């Protein structure tokens, strides 16, 4: 089993849609959780950290369920500019472990 798994994608959604990404991780000792965004042929950049209490940043909401070892990202009112690959990242031990990413295309 891979350490971090994500929805395979790609997700093609119309502008204004709500889209949810799922991520699971295998190591129960994982300490911190993040979503990174990677535009085509660019480097990954931090989108948001994920906390057990859930957190929201504008149109983006992240949730963490430690018992199920599950992380989610919800994007509301999708914009064309949201088109990118979304990487789920887990920190444990001393390392950041990246999932394979889920590609999102928001269509006009």
User: Which positions touch another protein (CB under 8 A)?
Assistant: 4, 31-32, 36, 42-46, 87, 89, 91, 93-101
C-alpha torsion sign, points 76, 20, 5, 40? negative
C-alpha 35/C-alpha 73 separation (Å) is: 8
Smallest separation, CB 98 to another protein (Å): 4
On the question of a cis peptide bond just before residue 85, with omega within 30 degrees of 0, the verdict is: no
Smallest separation, CB 68 to another protein (Å): 21
Residue among 99 and 106 whose Cβ is closer to another protein: 99
Smallest separation, CB 32 to another protein (Å): 5
Residue among 61 and 98 whose Cβ is closer to another protein: 98
- Count other Cβ atoms within 10 Å, centred on residue 58: 9
């Amino acid at each position: 089993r891979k350490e971090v798994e994500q929805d395979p994608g790609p997700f093609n959604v119309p502008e204004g849609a709500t889209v949810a990404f799922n991520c699971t991780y295998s190591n129960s000792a994982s300490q911190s959780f993040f979503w990174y965004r990677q535009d085509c042929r660019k480097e990954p950049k931090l989108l948001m950290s994920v906390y057990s209490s859930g957190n929201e940043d504008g149109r983006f909401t992240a949730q963490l369920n430690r018992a199920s070892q599950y992380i989610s990202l919800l994007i509301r009112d999708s914009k064309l500019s949201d088109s990118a690959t979304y990487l789920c990242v887990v920190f444990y031990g001393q390392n950041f472990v990246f999932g394979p990413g889920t590609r999102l295309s928001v269509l006009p």
